[in-house]
Amino acid sequence: MSGLFDELKRRNVFRVGIAYLVTSWLLLQIIDVIGPILQFSDDVARYVLFLVAIGFIPVLIIAWAFELTPDGVKRESAVDRSRSIAPRTGRKLDRAIIVILVIAVGFLLFDKMLVNDDGLQPVSSNPAAFDQGTPLLPAPVAEQRKSVAVLPFVAMSNGPDDDYFSDGLTEEIINSLAQLPDLLVTARTSAFHFKGQNISIEDIARQLGVAHVVEGSVRRAGEQLRITAQLIRAEDGFHLWSETYDRRTEDTFAVQEDIAEKIALALDVVLDDELRGRMRRVGIGDVEAFTEYQKGWAFFERAHGADNLISLLRQGNSHFEQAVRFAPDFPDAYLHISDLYSHILLSQANGELDGTITESDIQNAPENLRRNYDLVVRYAKNDGERLSAEHDRALVLGNWNGLSALTDRALSTPGCDAGYWIQLTSAAFGKSRNLLDAFARVAACDPLSVRSWVHMMGASLWLGDLPLALATAEKAMNSVQGEWLTRTYILALARGGRVAEADKMTSTHLRSDSEQLIAKFMVAAVVGDADRAWDNQQEYLGKHGPNDYISLVMEAARGNRNEANRLAALIDGRPFGYMSLMQAIYWCTCGAPFDLEAAPVFASMLSGSGLPWPPYSPLAFPLKDW
């Protein structure tokens, strides 16, 4: 046996075997990294592993039976041992093994430091690719609280629904982590803002005000699933945790739960059975449901701000309704479904001419609203969501008894939830400070949500704090965009006497003609230019009217009390007119845009709500003397 060992050593069989194994391992690692980039099938790595495995024994046999000589490769038995160069060949093999090991170590360091475990997403990139403006959140937020943003997992396969599947998995992880009170988790809107962008982790974390970032990828092949995830400390790019899961699609939720728990543990968040149960309960639990929900969300996002809002919301609802068919306890889907019916009724109350809305739509909308809001309340994931939904349900359906107290409870609930319509029952009715605080909490979770910043600006204006409104706008405009935000900023600029800046921003930052004309009108009304205000109003109505809600705001800001009251009475007589009037009060920021006697239905509802009348007038409109 000793002689066989010495002979194997002399013939370099051990060295050849080691070189073969190290080279094969390095080859498999390279395929694992570049395979997804080149869209290799998962079978490629298995085939290569199979080939190198079956090739191992023949390589050892060849090393035993043949020898490299100055005259080429010969059978070992034909070589004169006194002239053998096997020792020199062995030393060359030693050097080759060392070189291969150095390359392997370098590859591992490169994979760890610069790419993720699936070799696809850079941890750092060119910081010049993103505007590194003033962070939306002050630095102490990330320092005082454990904080994390979960970026959209990258779909590495190209099936028709793979991108939606990856987004759904990401949102499930966000929702699970958001149940932990000791952890600040960036909401979906802000986390998904960076989807498809080549931005460094450090810059993303700075913009979101978080200390950690999670990124990953998903690859599907039939029912086979590979998910990679890694938790990165933003300040130095260090990977605190990473893992690759090779599972079947049916195991998706077990993987999602494991990822969320591993992230929490890596961030030293204490998990007990109650918190683990809460994390599991918020999950959708159905792959088809969260895939359909992501499809609906795409239409929902496009709809708001688009001219064909109703049409896009209908398309979104076709997917949301599929989602709740697969997952009947899905509150977010019910909430989004309700939005279509709110806009149908608002459009009718405003007197808009929308040819896509039928009489059947108008007749069925109230019951559809009631049913979906009831389901949101029933299946809400936490107290904040439930109170927000209860507030919106009461306001939208006209159940206003005790509405002021319900508004107070909804505004004071800790967390990252605020009702979609909460600003209508707070800003104009002495609750501006609470509204500002509530949306500041929302912005801490969702710093790139335009809605949060619009309503923080609106609350500041209703407080009469013009410097705060301008400072809020200037901070927000560095990183988020939206015509509501821009229009409110223009109003604040004009009110602060910066009319030239307001005019310039109107022409450069507002894309749609309708928004430009509304902004021009408001600037003219704020500075008391009656002729210019009238011209802008007529141009708007000629191009984009009729819209009685917008007309009411314009008539009030222009000081035409009789016409404002006529329009208020017209709106008040329509189903859902009270919501249109509430919007006019909020967006006018001019106190009472009509006399309460002009709107008896609204007045009767208001009397039981606990909301005061008239609203406080935060801005002086020179043309309005009441």
Domain annotation for the chain: domains and CATH numbers = 2-114 (no CATH), 127-283 (3.40.50.10070), 285-378 (1.25.40), 380-626 (1.25.40.10)
Q: What is the largest CA-CA distance in the chain?
A: 118
Residue keyed to tokens 């409110």: 488
The predicted structure's pLDDT at residue 115: 39
Label residue 128 by pLDDT band (50, 70, 90).
very low
Question: Is there a contact between 559 and 623 (Cβ–Cβ < 8 Å)?
Answer: yes
Question: Is there a contact between 40 and 31 (Cβ–Cβ < 8 Å)?
Answer: yes
Compare 88 and 436 and report the one with higher pLDDT: 436
Helices (H), 528-560: 530-544, 548-557
Q: Which residues contact 166 (CB under 8 A, 6 or more apart)?
A: 152, 153, 154, 155, 217, 218
Buried b (16+ CB within 10 A) or exposed e, 571-600: bbebebbbbbbbbbbbbbbbbbbbbeebbe
Residue 295 and residue 286: Cα distance in Å, rounded?
15
The predicted structure's pLDDT at residue 125: 30
Label residue 486 by pLDDT band (50, 70, 90).
very high
43-56 mean pLDDT: 76
Residue keyed to tokens 């009060």: 585
Residue 229 pLDDT greater than 50, yes or no: yes
Residue 22 pLDDT greater than 90, yes or no: no
434-463 mean pLDDT: 91
Compare 192 and 50 and report the one with higher pLDDT: 192
Query: Where is average pLDDT lowest: 396-410, 441-455, 571-585?
Result: 441-455
Residue 386 and residue 396: Cα distance in Å, rounded?
15
State the chain's mean pLDDT as an integer.
85
Tell me the percentage of the chain whose pLDDT exceeds 70.
87
Q: Angle at the Cα of 598 (from 604 to 596), degrees rounded to 5?
A: 55
600-607 mean pLDDT: 96
The predicted structure's pLDDT at residue 287: 86
Q: Angle at the Cα of 213 (from 453 to 415), degrees rounded to 5?
A: 45
Q: Which residues contact 516 (CB under 8 A, 6 or more apart)?
A: 506, 507, 510
Alpha carbon of 143 to those of 185, 321, 326, 529: distances in Å? 14, 41, 41, 49
The predicted structure's pLDDT at residue 111: 52
218-224 mean pLDDT: 89
Question: What digits encode the pLDDT tens for the residues 453-465?
Answer: 999 999 999 998 9
In a 3-state reduction of DSSP, which class is residue 202? helix
Residue 487 and residue 476: Cα distance in Å, rounded?
13
For CA atoms 575, 576, 582, 584, the dihedral sign is negative
Alpha carbon of 420 to those of 96, 396, 400, 401, 424: distances in Å? 66, 10, 16, 19, 9
As a whole number of Å, the CA-based R_g of the chain is 32
